[in-house]
Copies of this chain bind each other. A is one copy, B any other.
Amino acid sequence: MKIVLDIYGGDNAPDAIFDGAIEALKENDKIELVLVGKQEYLTRRMESVDENLKSRIELAFAEEVIENEEHPSTAVRRKLNSSIVVGCDLCKTRDDCGAFVSAGSSGAVLTGALLKIGRIKGVLRPTLISTFPTVVGGKVLLADSGANVDCKPEYLKQFAIIANEYAKHHLGLEKPRVGLLNVGVEPGKGNEVAKAVYEMLKELPINFIGNVEAREYLSGNVDIIISDGFAGNMLMKGTEGAGMHIMKMIKEAIYGSTRGKIGGLFLKKPMMKIKNMMDYSNYGGANFLGCSKLVVKCHGSSKPRSIKLAIIETYNTMLKNIQTYIDKAINEVDISAN
């Protein structure tokens, strides 16, 4: 199965994306890519690609780019020759294309996926699942991290079902601990949506551990956090921001004095480890799960390394056949889907 890669998504496109693609092909010789972008650029870059990699690269030309400022659904409807639309169409129509990866405008990628690739039958809204490392060494999934900003309780119920399948089959967790993001741990807390979702999650055949507060995100006490995309986005970016700002303060403390510099030398290794953990550019991308093909949204500021990681991660997810499990779980477990 090939991965369709949007060369024109993100702040550092197209070079960072192209370079990341080549790195991924070098690192895993099973990966095959369809690169989508402007003909002139792709043709020129391909000239200097090693011959042994070329056989695993297919080109698809798209001469338009959807910018971040554009209204997503208008752009997807009008720019039919954009890398996002062409890429999604390829995924939809070709059986040998299993995934679409882009670092472009979040709204446009998700709209393109919804309108062009389409949902798995029964899925009300696909959910954007972000993965973050915890302080105890594991991972925590956040569903939804920003795709669905206005949610009905039924959507969040399905986010839980979808994320649960992903955690089981991709992360290999037998009984993922699923928590509902809320303002307090007691049942009955929260806004109207959270209160309704709480009652729904209790009834699902999942390991629902109740409400969790935002402070628990990195604790390792929960594997999957369920939220509407608006509050989830605040949790994710608030955490990223705090990490970024604290690491900046530490850097200033270290470089601000001779004492600091000496201390910094002794603590270099563990500090780098913490910095890397908090650096979201080290994580490939977020999975937009619930579409009939895998869709992966990379960070807009992605550099070659994060694109490489995202492609390799997407390849591994593709092997697990997550779509089939989601289809089964949604249509067997969730009667509201039928």
Indicate whether A233 sits within 8 Å of B266 (C-beta atoms), given known contacts A214-B238, A215-B238, A242-B242. no
Judge whether B256 and A183 touch: CB under 8 Å: no
Q: What per-residue 1/0 map shows which CB atoms of A249-292 lie under 8 Å from chain B?
A: 11011101001101111110011011001100000000000000
The residue in A184, A240, A263 that gathers the most chain B C-beta atoms within 10 A of its C-beta is A263
Judge whether B253 and A260 touch: CB under 8 Å: no
Judge whether B243 and A267 touch: CB under 8 Å: no
Judge whether B135 and A248 touch: CB under 8 Å: yes
Q: Tell me the chain A residues, 130-147 only, with Cβ under 8 Å from chain B.
A: 135, 146
Q: Is A58 an interface residue (CB 8 A)?
A: no
Judge whether A150 and B266 touch: CB under 8 Å: no
Q: What per-residue 1/0 map shows which CB atoms of A230-254 lie under 8 Å from chain B?
A: 1111111111111111111110111
Judge whether A214 and B241 touch: CB under 8 Å: yes
State which of B183, B186, B242, B271 has its C-beta within 8 Å of the C-beta of A230. Answer: B183
Q: Is A47 an interface residue (CB 8 A)?
A: no
Judge whether B248 and A238 touch: CB under 8 Å: no
Cα–Cα, bound, A241→B183 (Å): 13
Q: Is A87 an interface residue (CB 8 A)?
A: no
Nearest CB of B to A239, in Å: 4
Judge whether A260 and B270 touch: CB under 8 Å: yes
Indicate whether A241 sits within 8 Å of B215 (C-beta atoms), given known contacts A230-B183, A274-B246. yes
State which of B68, B227, B252, B267 has its C-beta within 8 Å of the C-beta of A253. Answer: B267
Residue of B nearest to A241 (CB): B215
Chief secondary structure at chain A's binding surface:
helix
Judge whether B150 and A191 touch: CB under 8 Å: yes
| Oligomer copy total | 2
Partner-contacting stretch, out of A153-161, A166-174, A216-224: A216-224
Question: A240 — which chain B residues lie within 8 A by C-beta?
Answer: 214-215
Judge whether A238 and B246 touch: CB under 8 Å: no
Judge whether B271 and A253 touch: CB under 8 Å: yes
Nearest CB of B to A9, in Å: 15
Q: Is A181 an interface residue (CB 8 A)?
A: yes
Question: A278 — which chain B residues lie within 8 A by C-beta?
Answer: 242, 246
Judge whether A217 and B190 touch: CB under 8 Å: no
Nearest CB of B to A110, in Å: 12
Cα–Cα, bound, A188→B71 (Å): 8
Judge whether A242 and B249 touch: CB under 8 Å: no
Judge whether A190 and B242 touch: CB under 8 Å: no
Q: Is A103 an interface residue (CB 8 A)?
A: no
Cα–Cα, bound, A260→B191 (Å): 45
- Could you write out 10 A-B pairs with CB less than 8 Å apart? A69-B186, A194-B230, A214-B233, A214-B235, A218-B241, A218-B245, A219-B241, A239-B241, A253-B270, A263-B267
What 4 A-B pairs are tightest by C-beta distance, nearest first?
A: A263-B266, A253-B270, A215-B241, A214-B237
